[in-house]
Structure 1
Amino acid sequence: MNRPRLIVFGRYPRPGKTKTRLIPALGPAGAASLQRRLTEGIIDDARRCAGLTGAQIIFCHDGGDRQKIQRWLDDGNIAPVPQVTGGLGHRMLTAINSAFDQGASRVVLVGTDIPGLTSEIMCEALDRLKEHDLVLGPSTDGGYWLIGMSSPVNLFDGIVWSGPDVLADTLALAGRKRMKPCLLAPLRDLDTPDDLDREVGRQSPPSPYLSVIIPTLNEDRHIARTIRAAASPDAQIIVSDGGSTDRTVAIARAHGARIVTGQRGRAGQQNRGAAAAGGEVLLFLHADTRMPLHYEDHIFDTLMDRRTVLGAFRFATDLHTPAMRTIAFFTNLRAGRLKLPYGDQGLFMRRADFNRFGGFPETAIAEDLYLVRKMARNGRIALAPAAAVTSGRRWQRLGPVRTTLVNTIIAVGCLAGVPPERLAPLYRLPAQSIKP
């Protein structure tokens, strides 16, 4: 296979494990999301370059597996290859030698931390290798972000990768091996908060990765616990209140939530909360539902699949009776098999998708069901492996059998086209003060 090879050398994004020096500024999931966007941009540029040059693209990754990489990048034309263990130099040398062993005519390896890297630069590097043995893309910190070779040569042993002389030492080693180098224009890495300020032009605190939107109406018994369970460096909490007359708003504000107020109605309240949100991802959470530990990691991993337009957590309640365990089992079966999670499972989605599909329809009831069905027609509905725990108060008040029957009648009626206004009394009359 006498084709040039483009190797994108990167990581599978994982909160807390990726772009760790940016965590103080962006939060663990926010830093991982930035890594994801940078990598996707480099991959897109590599695709454009490959279309012009006929190069084969290899994503040489640290972390993740073939299935995760493919569901993320969603392209059968990009070959995912895990990096070998060992130091950075050994890993790059192995990737480059492997490309030449497979018949590549020229090899260019690029990192994923360079916002200024473009398809034109990649193509230029491949073109320069027709006349040079070595091409390097210098970074302003003394390293390099691109290395290209016309034949396999070890320029990696003895390099102190964390030092300021990586480029100079590599050029000196190339000189001793009588290689003819070519330097591209220098670019900057994006590794630290100072780099973020300079490259992104951030003038104010960065947006959070996640906005948690909680509609409330007289929820002073539950709201504090719900907010505490959702608190995260990656999340802003927005309480969208529908006119509470108890201490709900005061308690939420004391726990650091942003307050949005307006007319009562869960759909409208959630839409108002979404309009005030700054997060890349929205999580809609009932006021009596508690998130599991590290819930933001589950959200991040679920949405790494580009096909997924909406996710939810598994269902559980704080009642541990045999009847409730049976209800939870069949609820999760319905959510998984029929792709019909409900709002008390914590619905989450990218803000762009939420806006694209018009948000929650402002119906009397079942706004979650209507939104899920609309989004399911345009993408994948996924369940996170952990459970959100909802208060069992409604099942206690109405009884598990009657509550399940009412919920089923409402869902079937909505799916059959019965106007929500006709079904609303079934939900509201037995438990008027339970939900907004």
Structure 2
Amino acid sequence: MNPTAMNASRLSAVRGEIVHFLADPAADPRALEHFADGVLIVRDGHVAECGPAAALLAKLPSGTPLADHRGRLILPGFVDTHVHYPQTDIIASHGEQLLEWLENYTFPAERRFADPAHAAEVAGFFCDELLRNGTTTAAAFATVHPASVEALFAAAQARRMRLITGKVLMDRNCPEFLRDTAETGYAESRALIERWHNRDRLLYAITPRFAPTSTPAQMALAGRLFREHPGVFLQSHLAENRAEVDWVARLHPEARSYLDVYERAGQLGMRALFAHCLWLDDTDRRRMAERGAAMSFCPTSNLFLGSGLFDLRRARALGVRVGLGTDVGGGTSLSMLQTLNEAYKVLQLGGQSLSAASGFHLATLGGAHSLYLDDRIGNFAPGKEADFVVLDPRATPLLARRSAGCTTLEERLFVLMMLGDDRVVAATHVMGVPM
């Protein structure tokens, strides 16, 4: 990262094969915009113009820096709508389902984030890994420790990333060393909101881990924070695992469903983001759509922890906002390409299909839409923040061989989705600057 370049206010451009979305291709076949030889012009970190090279090169002032990526694809930066940065060091830990995973791996790992130095070191590594994989925006969990939130915000701010995070709230059914109270959780969250929300590209998310680890008093205060601070986010987990769903039913016999627990606490609405959403009925899905809440589809985690299969067809049919999440460390890769690979397989098992266009939309503009950020990121419309990724379809011998035989853009994108990983990412730009 070049600090001088980061602060530069100038015009620049990048040339290559440009692919982005103007809408959801599942609903509008004209949604994908493609320039086989395109130019993206960036001014002061924002998209100035995007179009065919023949037209735009002639408009560039003499001496404008031009990065030449012909033979590679340029797409908007990937959007990861659910990931746990404190679980970076327990990714690929063997053999548990959700509740055992928390006890045996997650909680011991999160204990270490009481140390600000440890939090800062992991946060820096985590942000660098996101960028190395082409992810420029993420909604991430921290831990119960305010220092863990400070560390991640600081790391993202230094890299000019758009990042959403917040202090985890847990005042029951968790180890004492990770337990706060309803009152301290509220006060610490409010102080973090005042310090970090809307600072540069940073946004705060009120973060009850999930209903079983917060008392009704803490859930109510989290809902109060959500009302008191318009524009903040709320993130949690919902209906990931059958044993978890049964546990919630025992803890909350008054509630119609797991989702109803959040709604009763005032936590359902615009900018509320719930990971997994596997074991829901259509009443819950309709309620999420009506209230403007979003789901994060986390396929690698759902497979790794044996949780279940996401129903994208029903979510779309009922109008629910959906983004894609890696959910590391239950998820097994920070690569959104690998996550799309597993999303395709999960949907195949459920008798559904995911086109390459729909997959890449989900990872870019769709994710931005689920986070209510599609006015700022997600495509190359003029004025958007110029976050983008350069993908090399010849990054590996197999990819190069398979891509050479492709006859359509859809086929080439599908091959990238199924065979691609971090090796495909030739460059990641944040606000127009290579990282």
Q: TM-score, normalised by structure 1?
A: 0.25
Q: Which has the higher contact order (CA 8 A, sep 6+)?
A: 2
Higher gyration radius (CA): 1
